[in-house]
Amino acid sequence: MKPLITIHEPRRAPAAAPGFALWQLGFRPFYLLASAFAALSIGLWALQFAGWLGQPYLHGPLWHAHEMLFGFTLAVIVGFLFTAGRNWSGLPTPTGLPLAALAALWVAARVLVLTPFGWAAALANVAFPLAAAVALAIPFVRAGVRRNYFFIALLVLLAAAALAIHLERLGVLAVPSWLGVQLALDIVLFIMVVMGGRVIPMFTNNGVPGARATRQPVVEKAALGLVLALAAADAAQLQGGWLGALAGACALAHLVRWLLWQPWKTWRAPLVWVLHAAYLWIVVHLALRALAALAWAAPSTATHALTVGAAGGLIIGMMTRTARGHTGRPLRASRADLACYLLVGAAALVRVLVPWAVPAWTMPAVLVSAALWSSGFALYAVCYWPVLTRARLDGQPG
């Protein structure tokens, strides 16, 4: 099957170059902002969940879900797409002042949801993914890379999901705000399975001699098609046994896909196994969605398998690997990288498994998971500040 995207590992050289480089390419500011925000926002949510904070414009579980999706996750997606988009199109994506302006818009959106200014918060949170879509569309259209246009559409759909959430909060729409959250989760899931299917087998074969990770066209079509079918079922608000059967079939397709990548051969390569471990959480998420549709599991366990386990794991893995590769550093995980992987992975295990096994321990599980998650991303922000703010070691632009 012809791939939708082609990603090349960046070349490296031993030369060094001085200078402040935060605004030279999209991954730099957005990885740094996302990691710092991940550490801060989850800590704030744990305090709010425990009843120790007040109630701003967005509050409670809706604020938590909104900020994890449209704050943390979207920042990483945009940073990655701006970086990879330059390679796919051969044309520049935002740098310098335009990139700084987009980062400022993202920061404004994070602040405004904590104020009483609902319309301003809505405007900023819808404008950011739309602005990112336009910035990505310009090089894609000029270069004619039509097979990657769907990323532009996905950013627009995320803007629409954010708009639905805010219009419901502002009393304009009479639709459940959680429908917008679920659709955003489905869009993020689709982005993860598309990108994971392209980069994980490639990174596995490049980083693990003799791994022979493979992709079968039938499995690929089934895995991606069933995710889209699940998103359509959520949009139609399908419930019960049919939704459970669809989610179960989707889980099976992604389990087969994951096994074809031969994850058991990657345990000596942390930069690779972290991605395999994160992708397995997608299978767990889909299986838990099937159980939740049959009232055999709490929906929150499925959601956190996706957000903490899959998204958190893929993001920390990709942020370390691409930051190293695109700054001319060796593609080897440091001890700090490994600590980040273990902390985020432990946060997922505690947040999903403990409340599922012992519901009475949900509160301490949330607090412990929050501490682990915040520690992992805070460690990334501290360790990668010099990496993301300094020029490439090989003197190349980016």
| Cβ(208)–Cβ(269) below 8 Å | yes
pLDDT-derived band at 15, boundaries 50, 70, 90: very low
Confidence of residue 55 (pLDDT cuts 50, 70, 90): low
Q: Between 10 and 218, where is the model more confident?
A: 218
Q: Which pLDDT does position 11 carry in this prediction? A: 45
CA atoms of 83 and 178, how far apart (whole Å): 31
Q: Quick: pLDDT tens for 81-96.
A: 999 999 999 999 999 9
Encode pLDDT of 149-175 as tens digits.
Answer: 999 999 999 999 999 999 999 999 888
Concatenating the DSSP letter of every residue in 215-261 gives --HHHHHHHHHHHHHHHHHHHTT--THHHHHHHHHHHHHHHHHHHHT
How far is 192 from 202, CA to CA, in rounded Å? 15
pTM, rounded to two decimals: 0.92
Cα–Cα nearest to 271, from 325, 308, 311: 325
pLDDT, position 45 = 79
